[in-house]
């Protein structure tokens, strides 16, 4: 089996990996909210893809959760104050 005669230098070793740098990802502009978006991906800020709503955004989930909590509090408040009927 072949064995290297000399140690490979750092420069010679590192030249192999010099061309593997990160490339800038291609992007576009969202047609709905005009924010930058990756190609072929739904917009993370508004949830639209090619003019259709496909994602529920974090803001929308928070608003829905708040309204559900308020409704639950109203039901509990209304149920606790009402006298039981016998």
53 φ/ψ sector (left φ>0, alpha ψ -120 to 50, else beta)? beta
Structure tokens, 6: 């000399």
Buried b (16+ CB within 10 A) or exposed e, 62-83: eeeeeeeeeeeeeeeeeeeeee
Model confidence, pTM: 0.53
> In whole numbers, what is the pLDDT of the chain averaged over residues?
88
Res. 80: pLDDT tops 70: no
Q: ∠ at Cα 80 (74, 83), nearest 5°?
A: 130
pLDDT (tens digit per residue) in 48-73:
999 999 999 888 999 999 999 999 99
């Amino acid at each position: 089996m072949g064995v290297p005669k000399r140690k490979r230098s750092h420069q010679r070793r590192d030249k192999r990996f010099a061309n593997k740098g990160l490339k800038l990802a291609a992007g576009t502009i969202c047609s709905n909210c005009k924010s930058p978006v990756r190609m072929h991906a739904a917009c993370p800020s508004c949830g639209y893809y090619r003019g259709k709503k496909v994602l529920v955004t974090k803001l929308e989930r928070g608003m829905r959760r708040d309204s559900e909590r308020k409704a639950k509090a109203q039901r509990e408040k209304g149920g606790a104050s009402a006298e039981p009927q016998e």
